[in-house]
Structure 1
Amino acid sequence: MEEKQPFKIRYLLVTFMAFLIALLFYYGQTFEEALYSEGFPIPDQAKIQKVSSEKSFESYTWKPASEEHGLPIRYKLIIRLSGWKKVDQTETMTTYEKEGRKVDIISRKNYLGVYGQKE
């Protein structure tokens, strides 16, 4: 019976640590909705540069954006958790889809471009 006790303690400790990490991850960075792409998350730290309502386009300066590495993993996870699915990727542009709506994201050094499109 005593052999099972350390396993339970380890299990509880690992569960607690995972919960703490999830909370830190969630509250560490907040997101707001894109202007022309309803429901698509934009990092709160991204500063808007340019907006075009005709083209449903928004551009932001955001330091974690990169051409070589693409979008950061934590941002990809938030996009996925928001219900958007990756449907295509071509070099620096990634296309996400949700409920018939598509959004193209361009990630370059310190730059994030968001193009909303309707299907």
Structure 2
Amino acid sequence: MSTLKKTVGRTLALTTLLMGGAIYYFITVSLYEPSEDLFDFPVPKNAELVQENIYGKSYDWSPTSEENGIPLGYELAIKASGWKKGERDGASIYYTKGTNKIDLISSTKHLNILKVN
């Protein structure tokens, strides 16, 4: 009987962990949308576009900072979209997907997403 309780307990714990992870993943991903102008790089849905030019877009977005970078949920959404994190240079992080490259620059409450040639 003790072995059965352990097995059921482990199964419930594992199921709870997996369900929690799946729910977190889908909620996190649903907060971002691909930008066609930026090689379908994910952009936070609640970020406010403040500037746009041929090189990229600038957004006001309060969760980002120069010290801490972007939130973990945004990093997960970028990774889930197939982008690979590359080198970091201060507040700038490079991401690649195939032949496309993005420079993501985070500063206090501001986000720049630039296409790299």
TM bucket (normalised to shorter chain) is 0.7 to 0.9
Partners in 2 of 1:23 and 1:78 — Cα distance?
A: 13
Shift of 1:35: 4.2
2:41 pairs with 1:62? no
1:46 alignment partner in structure 2: 47
Partners in 2 of 1:85 and 1:72 — Cα distance?
A: 16
Note if contact 1:106-1:114 (Cα within 8 Å) is conserved in structure 2: yes
1:104 alignment partner in structure 2: 103
Shift of 1:81: 1.3
2:19 pairs with 1:31? no
Aligned residue pairs, count: 115
Question: Residue 38 of structure 2 aligns to a residue in which SS?
Answer: coil
Note if contact 1:105-1:115 (Cα within 8 Å) is conserved in structure 2: yes
Note if contact 1:58-1:113 (Cα within 8 Å) is conserved in structure 2: yes
1:49 alignment partner AA:
V
Q: Which stretches in structure 2 are left out of the alignment for 5+ residues?
A: none
Partners in 2 of 1:76 and 1:24 — Cα distance?
A: 13
Q: Which stretches in structure 1 are left out of the alignment for 5+ residues?
A: none
| Structure 2 length-normalised TM | 0.86
Q: Which has the higher helix share?
A: 2
| Structure 1 length-normalised TM | 0.85
Deviations 1:20-58 (A, max 9, x none): 343144225521112421221111111111111x22x10
Shift of 1:6: 2.1
Deviations 1:48-97 (A, max 9, x none): 11111x22x10111111011011111111111111111111000000000
CA shift in 2, pair 1:11/1:91, >3 Å: same
Computed over aligned residues only, the root mean square deviation of the Cα atoms, in angstroms, reads 1.7
